[in-house]
């Protein structure tokens, strides 16, 4: 007989692909906010509070954490030159009203200046704190794992094969079920639409294999060929045995 090889249904591929793209999209969004987006929102909030144009929002220093800023603020001595801080953090992101602002991902260090010398330094958390950003990253990592799992699932879906040949019926890489071992082919006993069940003997025991048209695109054609070969009644007599046709 001429072999019939069936992959999975287009609907199954599309659904799995859409799920993967959805998860991957959320993964990128959460990680972007955790590493960049929230920090940029803090920069925009700083210039808004200072009454400056939005395009003056400074870039942030990823190494300037709240703990590091508080350490620098405590170490800064009144009367010192600003260079004692710029030597560590570089130039301030914003200078306004005689004060210098150093922006970190989670907020900003404000250095008050008098006559060009340090008068005091304080750290202010931005609207999106370091904790908020860490949560975004954790959620992003979790979604990335989920996206990887669905990606593997998609690969398995694309690799789905159902083959009917003179050797019998083979699901993927499993051992084929010989025609001589097949004892019955019927519609799904549970009444699920588009499902069939093959009964066969293996190692002297009666076995059953459920098949689904959602999983195997050319299942109606394969069912029709088995019924013709074995003389079974076709559980889907109205089904047109055309490749890829699912009524």
Q: How many CB atoms lie within 10 A of CB 2?
A: 7
Mean predicted confidence (pLDDT) in 200-219 = 93
246 — pLDDT class (breaks 50, 70, 90): very low
Q: Residue 200's domain is classified under what CATH number?
A: 2.30.29
Residues 6+ away with beta carbon under 8 Å from 241: 220, 221, 224, 225
- Interval 125-161: pLDDT, tens: 999 999 999 999 999 999 999 999 999 999 999 999 9
Mean pLDDT of 223-230: 93
pLDDT reported for residue 247:
35
What confidence tier does 34 reach under pLDDT thresholds 50, 70, 90?
Answer: very high
Structural domain boundaries enclosing 204 = 161-230
Q: Please report the pLDDT score of residue 243 as a whole number.
A: 39
Q: Average pLDDT over the chain, rounded to whole?
A: 92
Residue 1, pLDDT score: 73
Whether 86 is covered by a domain: the verdict is no
In a domain, 214, yes or no: yes
Residue 239: the pLDDT is 55
Q: What mean pLDDT comes out for the span 191-220?
A: 92
Q: Specify the pLDDT at position 240.
A: 43
What pLDDT is attached to residue 173?
A: 87
Is residue 201, in this structure, part of any structural domain at all? yes
**219 falls within a domain:** yes
Question: What residues contact 231, with CB distance under 8 A and at least 6 apart?
Answer: none
Domain membership of residue 187 (yes or no) is yes
The helix/strand/coil state of 183 is: strand
Q: List Cα–Cα distances, 84 to 66, 131, 234, in angstroms.
A: 18, 29, 87
In a domain, 107, yes or no: no
Report if residue 176 sits inside a domain. yes
In a domain, 226, yes or no: yes
Domain tally, the chain: 1
Local confidence band at 242 (pLDDT 50, 70, 90 cut-offs): very low
Structure-token pair, residue 63: 């190494």
pLDDT over 60 (residue 85): yes
């Amino acid at each position: 007989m001429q072999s019939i090889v069936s992959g999975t249904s287009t609907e199954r591929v599309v659904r799995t692909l859409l799920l993967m793209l959805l998860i991957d999209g959320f993964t990128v969004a959460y990680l972007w906010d955790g590493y960049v987006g929230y920090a940029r929102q803090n920069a925009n909030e700083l210039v808004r509070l200072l009454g400056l144009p939005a395009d003056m929002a400074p870039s942030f220093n990823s190494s300037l954490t709240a703990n590091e800023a508080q350490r620098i603020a405590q170490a800064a001595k009144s009367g010192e030159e600003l260079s004692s801080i710029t030597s560590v953090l570089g130039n301030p992101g914003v200078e306004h009203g005689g004060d210098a602002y150093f922006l970190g991902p989670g907020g900003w260090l404000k250095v008050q200046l008098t006559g060009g010398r340090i008068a005091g330094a304080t750290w202010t958390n931005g609207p999106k704190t370091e904790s908020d950003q860490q949560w975004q990253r954790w959620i992003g990592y979790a979604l990335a794992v989920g996206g990887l799992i669905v990606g593997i699932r998609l690969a398995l879906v694309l690799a789905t094969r159902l083959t009917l040949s003179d050797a019998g019926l083979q699901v993927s890489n499993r051992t084929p079920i010989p025609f001589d071992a097949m004892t019955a082919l019927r519609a799904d006993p549970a009444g699920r639409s588009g499902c069939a069940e093959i009964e066969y003997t293996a190692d002297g025991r009666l076995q059953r294999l459920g098949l689904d048209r959602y999983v195997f695109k050319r299942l109606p054609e394969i069912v029709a060929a088995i019924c013709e070969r074995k003389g079974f009644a076709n559980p889907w007599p109205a089904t047109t045995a055309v490749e890829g046709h699912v009524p």
